[in-house]
Amino acid sequence: MLGDMLFNKTNLPLVNRSMDASMLRNRVIANNIANVNTPGYRRVEISFEDELRHALDGTRLSGAKTKSNHMDSGRKDLSEVHAKAYHPYDPTLPSGVNNVDIDMEMAKLAETQISYNYAVKFGQGIFKKMNAAIQCKSIQ
């Protein structure tokens, strides 16, 4: 009961999903970079932020499924938001061999690292607040 309140009623599950998405994106980008000279390779991307934005949008209605085979309606519950890999439609060949642009991939890698570091700091802040509350101390 207390563990559920501390860990599932806070932003920690959201931070966890964000860190998972960053790690998956990091692996995908590393794979794209490794295949920069592979003829015919199709780069992979991760979708997470748009799905998360829709789930957090309070102006959208949320629907309830009464049976598991019913179609989803409205915005998703945060527990249903996960990072997904996909092949984007990109008919260009920036490298002349495949659709991997090394400069773009390196920029995405740096952006992913910043996003991951932010999620870690945010998670540390949540634990710091919990620790201060448990010890009845103020937060500096």
Q: How far apart are CA 14 and CA 21, in angstroms?
A: 11
In tens, the pLDDT along 58-94 reads 776 666 667 777 666 666 777 788 999 999 888 777 6
Q: How far apart are CA 52 and CA 22, in angstroms?
A: 13
Whether 140 is covered by a domain: the verdict is no
Structural domain count of the chain:
1
State mean pLDDT over 120-130: 91
State mean pLDDT over 100-107: 94
Whether 55 is covered by a domain: the verdict is no
Q: Which residues pair with 47 in a beta bridge?
A: 84
Whether 97 is covered by a domain: the verdict is yes
Cα distances from 117 to residues 55, 100, 111, 131, in angstroms, run: 23, 25, 10, 21
pTM metric for this prediction: 0.80
**Domain range holding 126?**
2-48+83-134
Whether 105 is covered by a domain: the verdict is yes
